[in-house]
Each structure stands twice: as C-alpha cells, then as structure tokens.
Amino acid sequence: MRTVRVIALAAGMALLIWLVVRSGPLLLARDLEKVGWWMLTLLALAALRNAARTEAVRLSLGDDRREFSFGAMYGVLLVSGAVKFVAVAGLVVGEAAKGWLLNRRVSGPRAASAVLVDVLLYYFTAALFTLGSIALFFALFRAPHAAGRAGILAGLVLIATIALGVLAFRRRWLSAGRVLSPLSRWGFIRRSETLRRAGEIDSHIFEFRSRHPAAFAGILFFDFVAHFLAAAEVAAILWLLGFGVHFAVGVIGEGLTKMVETGGLLVPGDVGLYQEGTGLIFHALGYGVSTGVAIGIIRQIRSILWAAIGFLALLIPGFADARSRVLRNP
C-alpha cells in the first residue's frame, strides 16, 4: 500500500508540475501573491465548514450524541480529515479513522452505523448539490457542444445514481447482515455476535429517519451549509484574483469539482488531478485554464494548512491513543 501511495503521489506531482509549466509559472505566482494573508480568511471558511460537518456527525449518532461535546467532535473531524487528506483511498481510511475515534466513547456498532449514516447523507446532498450546479450552469452559460454533452451526461448519471441509491437503501440491498455474514462463516466473528452487531447497525441506519426525524433534517441542513460554504470559498478566491463577486460561479465550480475529488480515492490530497479538473471546469465557465489551475492550487494550499491543523490536534491530550496509532502506521 505504501508503494502505491508513493507512485500515485509521484504521478500527481508530475501532473501538477506539467500544469504549472503549461499555465505559466509567473502568472500563477502573481495569482498566489494576490491571496497572501487572505489565506486566513479561507481557513476561517474551512473552520466554519468543519463546524457544520461537526454538528451533522454529532446528529448522526442519534441519542448517543450526548457522549460528544461539540468541541470533542470538532477534534474528531479535524484528525480524521487530516488522515483522509494524506492517505491512499482517503475516503475509506478517513471514515475508518472517524469510526475508530467515535468508538472510544460509543459501541462499535453504533460508531460504524453513525459513520455510514453520515457518509450516505453527505454524499446524497453532494450529489443533489452537484446536480443543481449543473442546472445552474446551463441556465447561466452557453456551453460549447462538448461541454454541453458532458454536462447532460453527468446530470443523467447523477440522477440515475441518486435513484439507484435511494432504491438500494429502501430495499436494504447492502445491509450490515449481508456484509458481516461472510465474516462469521470464515470464523472472524461468532455467529451470535454477527447477528447482534448487524441488527444494531441496520436498525440505526435504516430506521434513523423514522426514529430521529429532527436529527435527519438537521444533518441534511448542515451538510448543505457545508457545501455552500465551500462554494463561498471558490467565490472568495475569484474575488481575490480580481474577477469580482460571483457566488453563482462559486456554486457551479464547487459542484462540478466535487466529481473531480473522486481522484482522492487513489492520489493523496488529489494532487495534480484536482488542479487539472478545476482548470478545465473554469475554462468551460469562460475563464482561462490558468485561472482554474490557480484556484485549484490555492484551495490545495488551504487544504494542506487545514490538514496540518488536524495533525496538530493530535497533540491534544485526549487524542493520545490516536497519536500513537498514527505514528505506528504512517
């Protein structure tokens, strides 16, 4: 796994260097200089976004959310987000780290089910946000033929994915019982233990909306707040680069780049892939490719700084166990 991480990161760095050379190093340097100490404002927006996500994750615990204060959960998301940023298969590793940290105060099944509820609803809202951004793109911009076809295809794929996901959830095609039963057959988990854990996880996930309607609505609300704060970051960067305030463009840019972020499943931190994606997206929005690349690099720098803050959170006494585990498994 470490070899894969090194290869993926090296490939991403090579792509990033090529993008910088193609876009013009001096032009990108001037764009970065325009941001300067305004980077603190971008970090403040990241802090607000993390606050919204913190409350969403707390609500996903249902009645057990009382086990975590807002500050404690904020630290959990800081640490798990930092791990997600640097790891190969960042989504899986980051969510696993979040579940492990939650398991320090709640049972394993409850921690696992809370993580799954949070992930399902977050990516459900992300898909809706992206779908809305595509509709906004066609409403405000005259897309070239290629971009138009790609946008329509992306919209249809998203609609089909959302419909399939809702159907799979309602039919319980991926219940914990089906996932854990092979482990009991292979002897990793006792059958009685499997049934108990699977039942608790499935109950929390599939009955969450009926048991906790207010929490369910709250999670959707705070997740959408997080998405719009990310769009505000894009709009703020455009303003810093001298293009004025265009929040609608920020919404479109953020929505479309959410699809690019799937590269994080392989490349740590989306290095290279993210900048290429933002370059193409903002070129389609009528900006130069170099502007899109600059936006991607600026957001990447902010992500690196935010991940560094997450690793600094490991110095908090309450994260001593997490710190030792991260150091043993770099």
Length in residues, the chain:
330
Q: What pLDDT, on the 0 to 100 scale, is given for residue 228?
A: 96
pLDDT of amino acid 179: 63
**DSSP3 helix / strand / coil % (the chain, rounded to 5):** 85, 0, 15
- Close Cβ partners of 116 (under 8 Å, ≥ 6 residues apart): 201, 205
pLDDT value of position 189: 57
Tokens of 132: 């809305």
- Rounded-to-integer distance, Cα 183 and Cα 185, Å: 5
Q: What is the pLDDT of residue 276?
A: 65
User: What single string gives the DSSP state of each residue in 123-145?
Assistant: HHHHHHHHHHHHHHHHHH----H
Which residue from 315, 313, 273 is spatially nearest to 50, judged by alpha carbons?
A: 313
pLDDT at 222: 97
Rg (CA), the chain: 21
pLDDT of residue 257: 85
Please report, in tens digits, the pLDDT of each residue of the chain (330 residues total): 455 444 444 444 554 454 544 545 555 667 677 888 888 999 999 999 999 999 999 999 988 888 888 888 998 898 888 877 766 555 677 788 888 888 888 888 888 889 999 999 999 999 999 999 989 988 887 766 666 677 788 888 889 988 998 888 888 777 766 666 665 665 555 556 666 677 778 778 888 998 999 999 999 999 999 999 999 999 999 999 888 778 999 999 898 888 776 654 545 445 545 666 777 777 778 787 778 888 888 888 888 888 888 888 766 665 545 544 544 444
For residues 97 and 227, give the distance between their C-alpha atoms in angstroms, rounded to a whole number.
22
Find where tokens 């909306």 sit.
Answer: 209
Q: Which two tokens stand for residue 142?
A: 């005259």
* 8 Å CB contact between 15 and 7: no
Burial of 96 per CB tally in 10 Å (0-12, 13-18, 19+): middle
